[in-house]
Structure 1
Amino acid sequence: MQDNTDGQEIRIGIRLQKYLAHAGIASRRTSEQLIASGRISVNGRVITEMGVRVNEGDTVCLDGTPVSPEEQKRYILLYKPSGYVSSLSDEKGRGVAADLLKKNYSERLYNVGRLDMYSSGALLFTNDGSFSAIVGHPSSEIEKEYIAETSLPYTDELIASFKKGIRIDSVFYKCREAERLSSRKLRIVLTEGKNREIRRVIEHFGFRVKKLERIRIGPVTLGDLNPGEFRELSADEIRILTEKPE
């Protein structure tokens, strides 16, 4: 930070949270949480306030480990198998979805959105904080398509209520589309996707989810991938995902 001759502060460098996003640490919003919790330091000084800027030559550390912007941006689709958690680590020793990518990518990749441990299917990973912030925000209105299988034949009331909108424990749930595929399978399209939304709606009607799989995120589909496999997104897929809704 420098001062001009009038005593006015000249703002140089880039904001710390933006620097962390470019380093592939997390989205800007999550980076702000890291800063507030005292896990980030600049030139040996722990930073807990927002607004700090980083300049060329500064040393930025996360938990004491230096970090720097990554030159290669990655955009990965993983077919997450059931039984893996959508986090970068797990204190309970469960399988971590991000670990399935480590043998092929040296960059620090983090998931965009989540799938619960017992769900499988499409899960995006990136080291581009701006991409994560755009795709992960509800205002993007990106469609996410699921196939749900219930343990018993479900009723038409379930589909009708989910499409119209239903309030469960003070939370309002409404899907964009719902279609019967068979007596125990249905296709559901969400644009926001609240925590365990599909499971909670199905269980509200007295049915148990036997299997839940996300088969599409916007233009990105699983295609020929098998559980545990992954691929890089195409330029067109990245462009469509980051386009602002009309």
Structure 2
Amino acid sequence: MNYKEHNAPGTWDIPEGGLRLQVYLARCGVASRRGAEQLIQEGRVTLNHTLVTTMGVKVVPGDIVMVDGKEVYPEERRHYLVLHKPAGYLCSARDPYHRPLVGDLIPSSITERLFTIGRLDFRSSGLLILTNDGPFAAKVGHPSAEIEKEYYVESTVPIPEVLLEQFPQGIDIEGVTYTCRAIEKLGKKALRIVLIEGKNREIRRVFSFFHLHPRVLRRIRIGPVLLGDLTEGKTRPLTPEEIEALRDVAGKRGKAPH
């Protein structure tokens, strides 16, 4: 994993009593808050040259924080991108099998490390939001925000009505309940599905339960942000209005823990 190195600390606001280490790492663009927690648990983070492996440690001005032996600072530049992820790309920082990564599609002019808010599986395509703003990612990506994700799905065979009837009510699969907020039939083999929970491979698991296979699974909306006609593999900046709208929706639903 590559980290952006700086010659001097960036300007950052710190609350009274310090800032939690995982939040500080997120503001450095090292990883999302949850990813930063994993780095700490893996023993890859030191504070003032002392290894930290548990949560709850706080950073105050003047502290030295290092990841994999490199000092990190909060980044000055914030990036907020929309990416049209093609099928066949991984939402990961690395892959032992050398498959294409979402990071390969980020414009070369952006030197800061970006991470995704939520994921799409290897075979799925569509809208991803990438940023190096850890607090923004934590707020928008937290389950309590209940931000809608809308998908266009095509099946290889006609879709039975029972799926449309049961999915909004909740389908129990191996002890996990999968529920959609909205579902609409667009043709014999096509659906529009709106989710809010974002459980792992939710649509694929529901389709498999009904012995179906998605030929196309494309995310077309996250909250107020639309994929639109953005070409596969291309990015565009989120507009200030979209950023504010995402913050507003997430703020109304709930708050991520600090």
Q: Given the two structures, how large is their TM-score scaled by the length of structure 1? A: 0.91
- Which residue number in structure 1 is paired with residue 8 of structure 2? none
| Conserved? CA contact 1:121–1:214, under 8 Å | yes
| Alignment RMSD (CA, Å) | 1.5
Q: Would the aligned equivalents of 1:21 and 1:27 in 2 still touch at CA under 8 Å?
A: yes
Deviates more, 1:53-62 or 1:149-158: 53-62
Q: Is the 8 A contact 1:78 1:124 kept in 2?
A: yes
Q: 1:161 to 1:39 in 2, by over 3 A?
A: same
CA contact (8 A) 2:89 2:123 kept: yes
Equivalent residue, structure 2, for 1:172: 177
Structure 2: unaligned runs, 5 residues or longer: 1-15, 254-258
Q: Aligned-pair distance for 1:36?
A: 2.0
Paired AA for residue 108 in structure 2: K
- How far is the alpha carbon of 1:12 from its aligned partner? 4.9
Match for 1:159 among 155, 159, 164? 164
- Deviation by residue 1:73-116 (Cα, 9 ceiling, x = unmatched): 11111000000011111111111112210513111101110000
The counterpart of 2:122, out of the listed 106, 117, 121, is 117
Aligned length: 236
SS, match of residue 199 in structure 1: helix
Residue by residue over 1:173-195, the C-alpha shift from the partner in whole angstroms, topping out at 9 and shown as x without a partner, is 11001000011110000011211
- Distance in 2 separating the partners of 1:142 and 1:99: 27
1:182 is the counterpart of 2:187 = yes
What amino acid sits opposite 1:245 in the alignment?
Answer: K
Indicate which of 230, 233, 237 corresponds to 1:225. Answer: 230
- Answer yes or no: is the 8 Å Cα contact 1:98–1:111 preserved in 2: no
Deviations 1:141-193 (A, max 9, x none): 11100000000111111111111211111110110010000111100000112
Residue identity opposite 1:202 in structure 2: F
2:252 aligned with 1:245, yes or no? yes
Map residues 77-116 of structure 1 onto 2, 5 A cutoff: 77-116=82-121
| Farther off after superposition, 46-55 or 153-162 | 46-55
Shift of 1:199: 0.9
Alignment of 1:1-246 (within 5 A): 12-243=17-248, 244-245=251-252
Distance 1:15 1:209 in 2: 42
Which residue of structure 2 aligns with residue 8 of structure 1? none
Tell me whether 210-219 or 17-26 shows the greater mean CA deviation: 17-26
Counterparts of 1:80 and 1:104, CA distance in 2: 19
State how far apart, in whole Å, the 2-side matches of 1:87 and 1:219 are. 25
Q: Answer whether contact 2:32 2:115 (CA < 8 A) is retained.
A: no
* 3-state SS of paired residue (1:85): coil
Distance in 2 of aligned mates of 1:106 and 1:136: 23
**Is the CA contact (8 Å cut-off) linking 1:141 and 1:245 kept in structure 2?**
no
The residue type paired with residue 115 of structure 1 is L
CA displacement at 1:13 relative to structure 2: 4.0
TM-score of the pair, normalised by structure 2: 0.87
Percent of residue pairs identical? 50
Residue aligned with 2:26, SS: helix
Segments of 5+ residues of structure 1 without an aligned counterpart are: 1-10
Larger radius of gyration: 1
Provide, for residues 217-238 of structure 1, a one-character-per-residue CA deviation record: whole Å limited to 9, x for no partner.
Answer: 0111112211000111111211
Out of 160-169 and 141-150, give the one that drifted further: 160-169
1:209 positional shift: 1.0
Structure 2 counterpart of 1:140, which letter? A
